[in-house]
């Protein structure tokens, strides 16, 4: 079954389209095409033409690079509510990473030619896109800073806080629950650490009371996570 396209509220739930007018969104709605990908299916590879982007409505997609030594470097996971492939769509460059479905995934595909027509018809969308790209740059800088400057426990705490903000926005509850569907191996790829180190970091966060695990659900103490995430300020 194709994902439901639910108009303005649906499209504005994605950061990239948050500032789009109702008229621009109506055009998006008319050109988007529903797609499905099975587990392990390659969606695109580094070097492919960047002639479309994906709005993820269900599932999870792994974005990664293969090093010269044959090791996979995971950049991030795109889940429901995320977009991917938009940078190549906007600048016309080739794909900069590989994208593989790591769960049964559904999404909406926007072709570059349709997006170009939309920008011509609604030039005011440029401001919204600039705001989105600046935030992406800040997120990337924060991720690199975490890997370069922080110990693994702080990296994990920062990752959980970013994920909580992604789920709850600025109104994070005092004791939020977070369903984390990533395996420890997948989490290790995101954090730039080995699986045993990630396992020890999870145990350390549990011992400190920052998280309580109930299967794949984490009950989080935001104040404690924040203290661990910024150790130089504690």
pTM score of the predicted model: 0.66
Query: For position 141, what pLDDT does the model report?
Result: 66
**What fold does the segment set 150-233 form as a domain?**
Arc Repressor Mutant, subunit A (1.10.10)
Domain ranges of the chain: 7-142, 150-233
Q: How far apart are CA 161 and CA 155, in angstroms?
A: 10
Cβ(106)–Cβ(53) under 8 Å?
no
Q: How far apart are CA 79 and CA 62, in angstroms?
A: 9
**What fold does the segment set 7-142 form as a domain?**
Jelly Rolls (2.60.120)
Task: State the chain's mean pLDDT as an integer.
Answer: 85
Provide the edge-to-edge strand list for the sheet that holds 217-220: 177-179, 217-220, 211-214
Q: Encoding tokens for residue 182?
A: 């990533």
Burial class (CB in 10 A: 0-12, 13-18, 19+), 233: exposed
Q: What is the pLDDT of residues 159-183, one digit of tens each?
A: 888 888 877 777 788 789 988 777 7
Is residue 220 pLDDT above 70, yes or no?
A: yes
Q: What is the pLDDT of residues 188-202, one digit of tens each?
A: 877 877 889 889 999
From residue 89, give the alpha-carbon distance in Å to each of 28, 136, 163, 216: 14, 15, 25, 35
**DSSP one-letter string for 51-102:** -EEEEEEESEEEEEEE-TTS-EEEEEEEETT-EESHHHHHH-PPP-SEEEES
Arithmetic mean of pLDDT, 4-9 = 71
Cβ(20)–Cβ(12) under 8 Å?
yes
Arithmetic mean of pLDDT, 96-123 = 94
């Amino acid at each position: 079954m194709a994902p439901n396209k639910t108009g303005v509220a649906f499209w504005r739930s994605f950061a990239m389209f948050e500032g789009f007018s109702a008229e621009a969104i109506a055009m998006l709605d008319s050109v988007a095409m529903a797609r499905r990908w099975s587990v392990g299916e390659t969606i695109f590879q580094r070097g492919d033409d960047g002639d479309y982007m994906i709005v993820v409505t269900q599932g999870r997609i792994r974005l990664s690079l293969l090093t010269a030594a044959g090791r996979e470097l995971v950049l991030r996971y795109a889940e429901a509510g995320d977009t991917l492939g938009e940078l190549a769509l906007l600048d016309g460059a080739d794909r900069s990473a590989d994208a593989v479905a790591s769960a049964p995934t559904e999404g909406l595909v926007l072709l570059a030619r349709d997006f170009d027509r939309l920008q011509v018809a609604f030039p005011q969308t440029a401001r919204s896109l600039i705001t989105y790209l600046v935030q992406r740059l800040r997120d990337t800088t924060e991720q690199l800073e975490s890997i370069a400057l922080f110990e693994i426990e702080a990296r994990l705490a920062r990752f959980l806080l970013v994920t909580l903000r992604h789920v709850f926005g600025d109104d994070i509850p005092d004791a939020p629950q977070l369903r984390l569907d990533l395996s420890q191996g997948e989490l290790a790829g995101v954090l730039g650490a080995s699986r045993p180190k990630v396992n020890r970091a999870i145990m350390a966060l549990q011992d400190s009371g920052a998280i309580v695990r109930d299967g794949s659900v984490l009950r989080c103490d935001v104040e404690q996570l924040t203290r661990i995430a910024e150790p130089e300020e504690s």
